[in-house]
Amino acid sequence: MGFFTNKVKSIIKQKVTSNLISGFQSAAFGQPKKLAAKLASKSPLDMSKSPVAHMGATVNPYNYGIAQYPQETTNLADGHYIIFDVIENRRTHYGVGTGYDDPNAKSYPKSLGMVGEGKLQAFQDKRLARLKEQKFQGGESILRSQASGINSKKNLQIHTRISDSIILYTPPAVKFDYKVGYEQIDTGIAGVMAGFFDGKGSLMDSLKGVGANFLETVTKSALEIAIPGLGAAVDKGLGRTQNPNSEMVFKSVPFREFAFPYEFAPKNEKEKDEVQRIIEIFKFNMMPEKLSAGYLTAPAQFQLTYMYRDGANMYVPKIARCALRGMSIDYSPEGVFTTFKGDDKGAAPVLTKVDLDFVEMEIMTKETIAIGH
């Protein structure tokens, strides 16, 4: 059975390579054949190892037309993928209310594609049921609540609706950084007085030390104005210097950042169109919208979830709501711009590299760590 499967894979791989070669257009002589071989090994077809293949067509909650890539590759053979939920700003004029009660209503760009509201809700309901079964999250919404900040207050939330869901393979590197910010502070004379305030020295000893330190500081500062470098020379001559009484003081917690590098090498017409749609959805939703003269609405937020088969991968920490801060699109990652044969829209790139730069909307605290972040 293993021999048969490998044989089928080999045949498909040869077909993919020949189809890619025949479809390439490039200014560089000899480049298509070389690049086609590389792409074929980069994303070989796998007929049986989809991350949701075990669910079947009728029970697969993702079988409703959402944006996803790839369709069937060994990148997803073990069932690992990421769902990027787009959380729309409720003040948007796009989509909801179009042509009815909103005089400023706008239609979504056709390049984003459309998903029926009923199918989207059914998709979210099935996901939520599975996540609640796992105890990954509670509540009656697929949206995870923010633990801190203004957006944690329900009456102040402006991002309340999922407009799109994108499923992408998990990149090779999965990394989470946890950091806290400390700053070095020179306490100086206050540090000298600490011995008195903590009860470890007598009042007279503390006052004596403070007085001497203060007098030396004032004297050296005055002399430095008249003769620059004199203070350092005095210290060197005496073989000692004043203790700055440096302390590390906790200041803040930086926001976690997440980078997701993706390479899209579509193998057929459907994947080619899906790649373009995914790029458009990310680009469209990371940008603000003109609200009125002098005002812009905040861009959409994103909810990221590491998945394994039909549930969340609870061995990987949760990610709080994010902003898509940067997106880089390289249509010639191999050094030359190569396309498929042209159609009525133009000629689609054979290989596209996309780098997504996300930053969380809230800092990590003991409370967020306790719930799985």
Strands (E), the chain: 67-69, 80-89, 159-169, 181-186, 246-252, 257-264, 289-292, 295-297, 301-308, 311-312, 322-330, 352-360
pLDDT of 156-197, one tens digit each? Answer: 678 888 888 899 989 999 999 999 999 998 876 565 555 555
pLDDT score of 335 more than 60: yes
Categorize the per-residue pLDDT at 47 as very low, low, confident or very high, splitting at 50, 70 and 90: very low
Query: Taking Cα atoms as reference points, which of 179, 143, 149, 183 lies closest to residue 163?
Result: 143
pLDDT score of 275 more than 50: yes
pTM of the model as a whole: 0.71
- Alpha carbon 308 to chain centroid distance? 18
On whether the CB atoms of residues 267 and 16 are closer than 8 A, the answer is yes
Q: What is the DSSP string of 83-144?
A: EEEEEEETT--BSTTTTTT-TT-BPPPGGG----HHHHHHHHHHHHHHHHHTTS--SSSSSP
- Residue 21: its pLDDT value, please? 42
Q: Which tokens belong to 84?
A: 């990027």
On whether the CB atoms of residues 164 and 119 are closer than 8 A, the answer is no
Q: Which tokens belong to 107?
A: 């239609």
Tell me the average pLDDT of the chain: 74
